[in-house]
Amino acid sequence: MTTPTFDRAELAAGLSEQWNALARLTAGLTEQRWRTPSPLPGWTAFDVLAHVIGIESILLGEPTPTVEAEVTAFGHVRNQVGELNETWVESLRPLTGERLRERFVEVAERRRKALAAMSEADWQQPTPSPVGVVPYGRFMRTRLFDCWMHELDIADALGVSVDEGGARAELALDEIVPYLGRTLVKRGGAPAGSRITVELTGPVTRTLHVRVEERAELVAALDRPADVLIRLGSGLFARLCGGRVRAADHADAIELSGDAELGRRLVDHLGFTI
């Protein structure tokens, strides 16, 4: 029996365009702009792109570089994954911004070729990933989500706007949505018996219903009116889920209907990854 997996053509095209978007976003930056602090603790716009290079280099089979700095002493490094990420970033920090971008373009092109050369069996091969051991194709949606979020991180660092809709954003939201119910319960304290609707108003538009009983479950429709309706833009939703911003700082962009106290607690605790 064939193991279900994620569409190769769609994800490969999405990743390719996402890498192009990162290259476009960072074209022509001055060295000062490259070193602008990002929403991620301890990282500049330069460091965010260096991190993307590091992960894609690992997927190309490149060995972890050796650095002189004791990266575990950095305040924003909290675990072994963070140590690995920071080692790659630290190894690239001596580069100029333009050379870093050239390195990124080179690595992205090699990754395109590697994806194109994969067989269907390779695409379905169980692979360690941030979401557990999953088919390689499933891992690639996680990679697209990560790269898409980092595009937002760099754009926010630079104070510029990027297109936050389209196919790449749809796929990135597909990566976030399955964790919504668990996040609302474990982090937001949604009580058993509650019904919650999260409406994304754009550029990606979705209506997400969560029914909480013994566990939280995403459902196509609720069996009764929602206790709270949370309405906000998809970009803000992604940034809240990614721990990039605080809901309190964007209260004017979040509409709550019904149990406002519950709604505020839920949006204050949407972050589940950073």
Question: Digits of tens for pLDDT over the chain (274 positions)?
Answer: 344 458 999 999 999 999 999 999 999 999 999 999 999 999 999 999 999 999 999 999 999 999 888 888 888 988 888 888 999 999 999 999 999 999 999 999 999 999 999 999 999 999 999 999 999 999 999 999 999 999 999 999 999 999 999 999 999 999 999 999 999 999 999 999 999 999 999 999 999 999 999 899 999 999 999 999 999 999 999 999 999 999 999 999 999 999 999 999 999 999 987 5
User: Packing angle between helix 97-117 and helix 45-59, nearest 10 degrees?
Assistant: 30
Q: What is the pTM of this model?
A: 0.94
* CATH number listed for the domain at residues 8-126+133-158: 1.20.120.450
Cβ pair 22, 52 in contact under 8 A: yes
Residue 4 pLDDT: 45
Radius of gyration of the chain (CA): 20
d(C-alpha 100, C-alpha 162), whole Å: 21
Report domain 178-268's class: alpha beta
Residue 6 pLDDT: 83
d(C-alpha 186, C-alpha 178), whole Å: 14
Residue 75 pLDDT: 83
Domain boundaries, the chain: 8-126+133-158, 178-268
Q: Comparing C-alpha atoms, which of 144, 142, 130, 153 is closest to residue 49?
A: 153
